[in-house]
Amino acid sequence: MKRLAIIGTLIALGMLLPAQLAGASSHKSKHHKTKSKPKTTALATSCTVVTKAQAGAALGQTVTAGTLGHATVEGGLACVFYGPNAPSTADADVPVPDSVRVVLVTGSDALKWFNDYKGKVQAQSIPGLGTQAYYDGDASVSVLVGSEYLRVAVIGQTGVSEASEEQLARDALPRM
């Protein structure tokens, strides 16, 4: 009974559930770290819309399991998959070469962040992908579907193109 009370208290304080979800949805290697604990709901979705296999296919090589960090554009969470040539001291909060970054924003802020980033880049429309989609002209594909905004970036590999990011976004749509 005392054990149940402790577990209930930890859940109420938000301490146990995020730790359990972190172990279930992200794998922190000894080389990559996340500085702070993100929100539980985003934790479960940021690393589940793209699989490790899909991220690896987009990058063209084997990748680590997703690691959570802060999104650099949306202010939310990014799930980062690292290739074998990513810096060993990489911080999941900072984009680095040889990685795949996936961000999913859900709810009322999705359209705001989608449009905010669109206004900061040379957006090139991608017809037939989600409700609206664009390539930012340099590093990522953004997709809006209802009240969900997905941004994927395949970073730092020669031969990686908008097509790789677009395919990764298409693969993620069923999980959104």
How far apart CA 132 and CA 144 sit, in angstroms, is 5
Give the per-residue pLDDT at 15.
29
Give the per-residue pLDDT at 6.
33
CA dihedral 92, 43, 130, 111 (to 10 degrees): -90
67 near 32, Cβ under 8 Å?
Answer: yes
pTM as predicted = 0.73
Distances (CA, A) of 148 to 4, 60, 117: 36, 27, 14
Give the per-residue pLDDT at 105.
92
Give the per-residue pLDDT at 20.
30
Give the per-residue pLDDT at 75.
73
Give the per-residue pLDDT at 33.
42
Show pLDDT as tens, one digit a residue, over the chain (176 residues).
333 333 333 333 332 223 333 333 333 343 444 333 333 344 447 899 999 999 999 999 999 999 999 998 887 789 999 999 999 888 999 899 999 999 999 898 999 999 999 999 999 999 999 999 999 988 899 999 999 999 999 987 666 678 889 999 999 999 88
How far apart CA 52 and CA 66 sit, in angstroms, is 7
Task: Render pLDDT for 60-73 as a digit per residue (tens, 0 to 9).
Answer: 999 999 999 999 88
Domain ranges of the chain: 2-175
Give the per-residue pLDDT at 9.
32
